[in-house]
Amino acid sequence: MAFVLPPMFIVFNAASGQADTLRASEQVASRLRTAGQAHHIFVAQAPGELGSVIGRAVHGARDAGGAVVAAGGDGTLNAVAQAAWNSRLLMGVLPLGTFNYFGRAHGMPTELDDAVDALLRARPRPVPLGLLGERVFLVNASVGLYPRLLLQREQAKRRFGRHRGVALLSGLRTLLRGGSVMTLQLHAQGQMRVVRTRTLFVGNNDLQLHALGLREALAVEQGRLAAITLQPLSTLRTLWLVLRGALGRLDGAEGVDSFAFDRLVVQPRRRATSMQVAMDGEVLRMATPLVFQTAPHPLQLLVPPDEDEEPDA
């Protein structure tokens, strides 16, 4: 039986710093009307409004047997995915962010019109998620250097604009500044290891890990998670590490340790009661110990068919 797209309840986040969000919402609505696709547009206009807007979209999708669609960057996609996953609703994405790792990993184009066309051809597919405590993450979650990098990157974007070049230069500046070193106890696969590291990065996106050249990308493709730790290094060695990452040759680099896992418990050696955590581009504080694991059930995601796949298969 052919799959018929249900009504779409689409969430835009105009408070996320994307200046053209309202124009994009009108563009999407026009294209869906032309295609005859039932839809409803929800726009978060002010900071702090996103949660209530998502709630209205989820309520409408549940009542209508519809799909909730996130239009935005990784932070907006994460917030919608949390609600869709909790409610076991079908979800779609329209990538509008800087890097768009999640959408790109699942075949969604980065040009808006092309993304809408892909969404109109999409079919449900189960997608594994990462879980930190009770919060899902789509791309990555981390502690240490990376949360600080994200905060400084957002400051740079507000000052110089939301461009990839700004994000990359800001990240490089943060790396070269160095920072505090954490001592962490990592419990995984029945073993405990103690590491001194500047950051612990947990990835759930094979596209991002492939770009870095890490073998754990294959494990993520199979539904596991990947952990990467970065040892304290000199400025010169840090620059060499950044170059290797940019060339997709990070695997086996000095100072980098990586491994795949299904469940990882992280306890700071100093028994801190909470840690600053970055999840899909958003920074928050969470109680310790931190428990990373694969989510117990997948997200049902609308994904465009592969080129060799029958559209209605």
| Domain residue ranges in the chain | 8-128+298-303, 136-294
* pLDDT for 271 beyond 50: yes
| 3-class DSSP assignment, residue 306 | coil
- Give the chain's end-to-end CA distance (angstroms, integer): 8
Q: Positive or negative CA dihedral for 304, 309, 312, 313? A: negative
* Amino acid sitting at position 166: V
Instruction: List all residues 6 or more positions away from 182 whose beta carbon is below 8 Å from its beta carbon.
Output: 143, 144, 196, 197, 198, 200, 268, 269
Token reading at 125: 């597919």
Give the pLDDT band of residue 145 (cuts 50, 70, 90): confident
Average predicted confidence (pLDDT) for the chain: 87
Q: ∠ at Cα 117 (299, 208), nearest 5°?
A: 50
Q: What is the CATH number of domain 136-294?
A: 2.60.200.40
| 3-class DSSP assignment, residue 131 | strand
Distance CA 138, CA 203 (A): 9
Q: Could you read off the pLDDT of 173-192 as tens digits, one per residue? A: 656 565 678 999 999 988 99
Tell me the pairing of strands 274-279 and 67-72.
Answer: unpaired
Distance CA 152, CA 171 (A): 8
Give the pLDDT band of residue 313 (cuts 50, 70, 90): very low
Distance of CA 293 to the CA centre of its chain: 15
Count of CB atoms within 10 A of residue 218's CB? 14
| Residue 249 DSSP symbol | -
pLDDT more than 70, % of the chain: 86
* pLDDT for 235 beyond 90: no
- According to CATH, the topology of domain 8-128+298-303 is Rossmann fold (3.40.50)
Q: Could you read off the pLDDT of 63-111 as tens digits, one per residue? A: 999 999 999 988 899 999 999 999 999 999 999 887 889 999 999 999 9
Give the pLDDT band of residue 57 (cuts 50, 70, 90): very high
| 3-class DSSP assignment, residue 61 | helix
